């Protein structure tokens, strides 16, 4: 089967290359803002009753850009044309989302009119044509930027390409907390696989206290550096507060704080990847919650946000990994009371205080760990789904295919880089050759 897969590498550009990389990010932002200014001016003119055409689509924006670029940005040949194209593409998408949202054709939160892009912590630019390749174990080649050193070996992808099982479709250059990355989007041919225990069913409860609790009774701990990192973050936050906002020393402190946060996010993301790969490779059926019902009950705001993000990432990764490894992913219906139901007798409690770490059943007297109880209830859902009476028996393939694509798509959207894009994805998606 053929899937889209991202391979992400940290890279170490030379100082000259780094300047060129920054220039490309700047060029992308410039093109976006230039296009937005043009659209706004044309809309104003139209409102005044003038007969003008507003360039909403990428081809229209590109035509306008090519006509105007010699005047608007005489330095344009310094960067690959892909940089400007990426900026205009981002604008065209933002406009489309906004209009569809206004017309009620788009689900989810309302999307506002695009705003001018500022320099943000996380930016990216995507290359789709020209010389994009892996040149050896530790180097890759990009148009205009040339041969760049990778921070980690590219062996896995290089071997797949050599064997003809992977083809690079595009490359996205990005910066996050002063670290440069290159992500290759590839079409990968994957062999049909089966999980090692095809009949095994596991329920997974993602949370804060633990990274995850499995219905098998296993608790997967949060990665260990977290408490230490939290102390460091608290210290850096205090240091930041003592500096004068906007000063050189303030910027320095802010950068250090950003890196500390990024490190925590990376460590967590890595642990999550390892967990989801192991689950998808081992168990035939995996059941997760759609909403973090048990996580929501713990009332601290931060904890809740973390749990939600954690569950979202767990589901996103399991979505495509289950498809890769031939296992089945089942999502519990929205209001399934996984943490209020007794996994022993099925009695449902009216309330369960957020602080209660142990579930005590009023009906049969059973007592067990709250998260384990929730995970066990999730696993039990699989039996219902298989007999077909389950409310949302999302069995496998068709569903998983879409999830796999969605996973990649959202990864790309993230790389296309809105400012508050999720801060997780550090680890290279694993398991291409494995
Ligand atoms: Zn009970």
Per-residue pLDDT tens over the stretch 139-179 = 999 988 999 999 989 998 999 999 999 999 999 999 887 78
Greatest Cα pair distance, the chain, in angstroms, is 79
Residue 365 alpha carbon to ligand 1 centre in Å: 6
What confidence score (pLDDT) does residue 225 get?
66
* Rounded (10°) angle between helices 396-416 and 81-102: 120
DSSP lists the bridge partners of residue 218 as none
Closest CA to 264 of 318, 305, 224, 304: 224
Coil, helix or strand at residue 125: strand
Query: Is residue 294 within 8 Å of residue 339, measured between CB atoms?
Result: yes
What confidence score (pLDDT) does residue 381 get?
85
Low-confidence ranges of the chain (pLDDT < 70): 121, 225-226, 291-307, 354, 384-434
Coil, helix or strand at residue 170: strand
Coil, helix or strand at residue 326: coil
What confidence score (pLDDT) does residue 228 get?
78
How far is the CA of 314 from the CAs of 3, 320, 366, in angstroms? 19, 11, 29
Residue 289 alpha carbon to ligand 1 centre in Å: 21
Q: How far is 62 from 54, CA to CA, in rounded Å? A: 12
What confidence score (pLDDT) does residue 255 get?
84
Domain with CATH 3.30.420 in the chain: 197-225+270-416
Query: Is residue 322 within 8 Å of residue 193, measured between CB atoms?
Result: no
**Ramachandran bin of 312, using left for φ above 0, alpha for ψ from -120 to 50, beta for the remaining angles:** alpha
Q: Is 270 noted as a catalytic residue in this protein?
A: no
Q: Is 308 noted as a catalytic residue in this protein?
A: no
What confidence score (pLDDT) does residue 312 get?
83
Residue 364 alpha carbon to ligand 1 centre in Å: 4
Q: Is 205 noted as a catalytic residue in this protein?
A: yes
Token representation of residue 148: 């760049």
H-type helices in 6-80, by residue range? 15-47, 58-72
Segment (H or E) for 159:
helix 155-162
Model pTM score: 0.70
Strands 283-288 vs 219-220: parallel, antiparallel or unpaired: unpaired
Ion ligand 1: residue ranges with CB closer than 5 A: 342, 344-345, 347, 361, 363-364, 366
Query: Is residue 127 within 8 Å of residue 80, measured between CB atoms?
Result: yes
Residue 292 alpha carbon to ligand 1 centre in Å: 22
Within 8 A by CB and 6+ apart from 20, the residues are: 13, 79, 144, 145
Residue 341 alpha carbon to ligand 1 centre in Å: 8
Query: Is residue 156 within 8 Å of residue 150, measured between CB atoms?
Result: no
Residue 281 alpha carbon to ligand 1 centre in Å: 33
Q: How far is 247 from 250, CA to CA, in rounded Å? A: 5
Which residue do the tokens 């689509």 mark? 57
DSSP lists the bridge partners of residue 171 as 127, 184
Query: Is residue 7 within 8 Å of residue 428, measured between CB atoms?
Result: yes
Q: How far is 26 from 78, CA to CA, in rounded Å? A: 11
Q: How far is 4 from 319, CA to CA, in rounded Å? A: 13
Of the candidates 64, 82, 331, 371, the residue annotated as catalytic is 371
For the segment 341-374, what is each residue's pLDDT rounded down to a tens digit? 898 888 888 887 767 788 888 888 888 888 899 8
Token representation of residue 46: 């139209």
Of the candidates 82, 89, 289, 331, the residue annotated as catalytic is 289
Of the candidates 205, 331, 400, 408, the residue annotated as catalytic is 205
Architecture of domain 197-225+270-416: 2-Layer Sandwich (3.30)
Token representation of residue 281: 């490779």
Residue 385 alpha carbon to ligand 1 centre in Å: 22
- Spell out where 310-407 has E strands: 328-331, 358-360, 367-369
């Amino acid at each position: 089967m053929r899937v889209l897969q991202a391979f992400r590498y940290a890279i170490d550009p030379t100082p000259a290359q780094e300047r060129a990389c920054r220039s490309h990010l700047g060029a992308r932002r410039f093109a976006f803002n230039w296009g937005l200014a043009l659209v706004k001016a044309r809309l104003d003119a139209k409102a005044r009753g003038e007969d003008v055409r507003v360039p909403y689509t990428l081809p229209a924006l590109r035509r306008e850009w090519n006509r105007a670029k010699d005047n608007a940005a005489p330095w344009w040949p310094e960067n690959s044309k892909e940089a400007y194209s990426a900026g205009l593409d981002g604008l065209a998408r933002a406009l489309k989302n906004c209009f569809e949202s206004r017309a009620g054709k788009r689900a989810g939160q309302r999307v506002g009119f695009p705003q001018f892009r500022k320099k943000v912590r996380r930016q990216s630019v995507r290359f789709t044509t020209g010389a994009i390749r892996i040149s050896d174990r530790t180097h890759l080649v990009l148009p205009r930027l040339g041969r760049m050193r990778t921070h980690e070996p590219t062996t896995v992808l290089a071997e797949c390409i050599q064997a003809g099982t992977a083809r690079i479709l595009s490359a996205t250059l990005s910066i996050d907390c002063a670290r440069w990355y290159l992500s290759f989007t590839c079409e990968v041919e994957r062999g049909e696989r089966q999980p090692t225990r095809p009949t095994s069913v596991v329920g997974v409860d993602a949370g804060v206290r633990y990274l995850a609790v499995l219905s098998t009774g296993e608790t997967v701990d949060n990665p260990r550096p977290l408490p230490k990192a939290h102390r460091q973050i608290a210290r850096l936050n205090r240091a930041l507060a003592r500096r004068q906002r906007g000063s050189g020393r303030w910027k320095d402190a802010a950068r250090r704080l950003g890196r500390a946060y990024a490190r925590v996010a990376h460590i967590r993301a890595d642990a999550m990847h390892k967990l989801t790969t192991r689950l998808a490779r081992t168990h035939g059926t995996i059941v997760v919650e759609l909403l973090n019902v048990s996580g929501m009950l713990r009332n601290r705001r931060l904890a809740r946000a973390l749990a939600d993000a954690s569950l979202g990432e767990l589901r996103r990764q399991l979505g495509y990994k289950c498809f890769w490894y031939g296992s089945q992913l089942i999502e519990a219906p929205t209001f399934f009371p996984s943490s209020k139901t007794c996994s022993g007798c099925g009695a449902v409690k009216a309330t369960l205080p957020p602080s209660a770490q142990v579930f005590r059943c009023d009906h049969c007297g059973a007592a067990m760990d709250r998260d384990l109880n929730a995970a066990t209830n999730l696993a039990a859902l699989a039996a219902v789904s298989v007999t077909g009476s389950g409310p949302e028996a999302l069995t496998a393939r068709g569903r998983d295919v879409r999830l796999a694509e969605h996973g990649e798509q959202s990864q790309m959207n993230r790389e296309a880089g809105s400012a508050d894009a999720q801060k997780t994805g550090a680890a290279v998606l694993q398991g291409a050759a494995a």
